[in-house]
């Protein structure tokens, strides 16, 4: 247990009467890539935000490298955040900064790197995600969705984090660009030797970037196992989800006319 990079025990979170997370337990080993799948509103994003400290869980334990992070103060949080990189669903690039400044933001603001040196790091990271140095001079609004995702990935890996989170990395992209992003994620995680947690409902992406898959349903992790075993999970909810069937135990709340 102590060898886990990330360890969650009994994590709960509710908004008013809506219980979003109902006792989540899992461990992620160093270098492992866990993909959490689940429908919209199943609590995937809340789970990531709780681990990152962007949201406080109501109860439970979240350990990073064996260190309890739930009750961290600002200083402790900033220290542990040094281990993390995060690719947000919409990119979350800073509109007012050029692309290279976005990528170099962490090294400059948090690590105190000189701008000239950070610019070189940024250009190298942009190269790692297949973007030329000329892209660095543009603003995020001048980029396509796929390029924004790549820049966000470059920013996530700029500080060479030990842990990387991917929030719906392929949402809104065409299948070819989605596969390009998946390949880049696999390559970047592998090159860094990082531990990764991704949340997605894109099964092609989940199969490609994950070592292990867990399924979140109504705030509970109802199944987890190696990627190769997901097709014989024996769980009706998982079966329905991975095959995208409307009929099954998961009932979408759709009002019939």
Partner 1 sequence: MNIPLLTVLGRMTLAFFEATGAVTAFAFQALRLSVQPPYYRQQMVRQILEIGYYSLPVVGLTAIFTGMVLALQSYTGFARFSAESAIPNVVVVSLTRELGPVLAALMVAGRVGAAMAAEIGTMRVTEQIDALTTLSTNPFKYLVVPRLIAGVVTLPILVLVADIIGVLGGFLVGVYKLDFNDTAYLRNTIDFLQFQDVFSGLVKAAVFGFLITLMGCYHGYTSKGGAQGVGMATTNAVVSASMLILTFNYFLTEAFFAR
Q: How many residues bind partner 1 (CB under 8 A)?
A: 26
**Closest CB 111 distance from partner 1, rounded Å:** 8
**Closest CB 110 distance from partner 1, rounded Å:** 4
Q: What's the Cα-to-Cα distance from 123 to each of 119, 141, 154, rounded to whole Å? A: 6, 19, 9
**Nearest CB to partner 1, comparing residues 148 and 182:** 148
C-alpha of 170 from chain center: 11
User: In whole angstroms, what is the distance from residue 21 CA to residue 47 CA?
Assistant: 7
The beta strand positions in 57-108, using DSSP E, are 59-64, 67-68, 84-87
Q: What's the Cα-to-Cα distance from 89 to each of 126, 166, 172, 217, 220, rounded to whole Å? A: 19, 8, 9, 20, 22
**Nearest CB to partner 1, comparing residues 106 and 219:** 106
Q: What's the Cα-to-Cα distance from 170 to each of 125, 164, 166, 234, 253, rounded to whole Å? A: 20, 15, 9, 27, 25
**Closest CB 222 distance from partner 1, rounded Å:** 27
**Nearest CB to partner 1, comparing residues 49 and 207:** 49
Q: Give yes or no for a contact between 164 and 188, defined as CB atoms under 8 angstroms apart.
A: yes
**Closest CB 102 distance from partner 1, rounded Å:** 9
Sheet holding 220-226, edge to edge: 84-87, 163-167, 195-200, 33-37, 212-217, 220-226
**Nearest CB to partner 1, comparing residues 54 and 204:** 54
Does 85 bind partner 1 (CB under 8 A)? Our answer is: yes
**Closest CB 133 distance from partner 1, rounded Å:** 22
Does 94 bind partner 1 (CB under 8 A)? Our answer is: yes
**Closest CB 165 distance from partner 1, rounded Å:** 8
Q: Give yes or no for a contact between 79 and 110, defined as CB atoms under 8 angstroms apart.
A: no
**Closest CB 1 distance from partner 1, rounded Å:** 26
> Taking CB under 8 A as the rule, which mask of x and - marks residues 99-128 in contact with partner 1?
------xx--xx------------------
User: In whole angstroms, what is the distance from residue 69 CA to residue 117 CA?
Assistant: 32
CB count, 10 Å around CB of 175? 10
Does 187 bind partner 1 (CB under 8 A)? Our answer is: no
**Nearest CB to partner 1, comparing residues 43 and 53:** 53
Query: Which residues from 25-84 bind partner 1, rule CB under 8 A?
Result: 49, 52-54, 74, 77-78, 81-82, 84
Give contact residues for partner 1 (rule: CB under 8 A): 49, 52-54, 74, 77-78, 81-82, 84-86, 88-90, 92-96, 105-106, 109-110, 155, 159
């Amino acid at each position: 247990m102590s060898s886990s990079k990330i360890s969650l025990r009994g994590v709960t979170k509710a908004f008013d009467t809506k219980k979003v997370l109902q006792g989540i337990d899992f461990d992620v080993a160093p270098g492992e890539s866990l993909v959490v799948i689940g429908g919209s509103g199943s609590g995937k994003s809340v789970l990531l935000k709780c681990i990152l400290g962007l949201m406080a869980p109501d109860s439970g334990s979240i350990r990073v490298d064996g260190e309890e992070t739930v009750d961290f103060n600002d200083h402790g949080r900033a220290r542990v955040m040094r281990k993390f990189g995060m690719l947000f669903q919409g990119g979350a690039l800073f509109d007012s900064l050029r692309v290279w400044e976005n990528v170099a933001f962490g090294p400059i603001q948090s690590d105190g790197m000189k701008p000239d040196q950070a610019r070189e790091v940024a250009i190298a990271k942009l190269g790692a995600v297949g973007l030329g140095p000329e892209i660095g001079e543009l603003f995020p609004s001048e980029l396509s969705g796929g390029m924004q995702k790549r820049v966000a990935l470059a920013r996530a890996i700029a500080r060479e984090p030990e842990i990387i989170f991917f929030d719906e990395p392929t949402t809104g992209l065409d299948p070819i660009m989605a596969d390009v992003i998946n390949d880049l994620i696999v390559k970047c995680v592998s090159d860094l030797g990082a531990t990764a947690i991704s949340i997605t409902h894109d099964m092609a992406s989940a199969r490609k970037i994950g070592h292990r898959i867990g399924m979140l349903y109504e705030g509970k992790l109802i199944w987890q196992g190696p990627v190769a075993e997901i097709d014989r999970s024996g769980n009706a909810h998982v079966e329905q989800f991975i095959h995208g069937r409307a009929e099954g135990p998961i009932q979408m709340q759709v009002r019939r006319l």
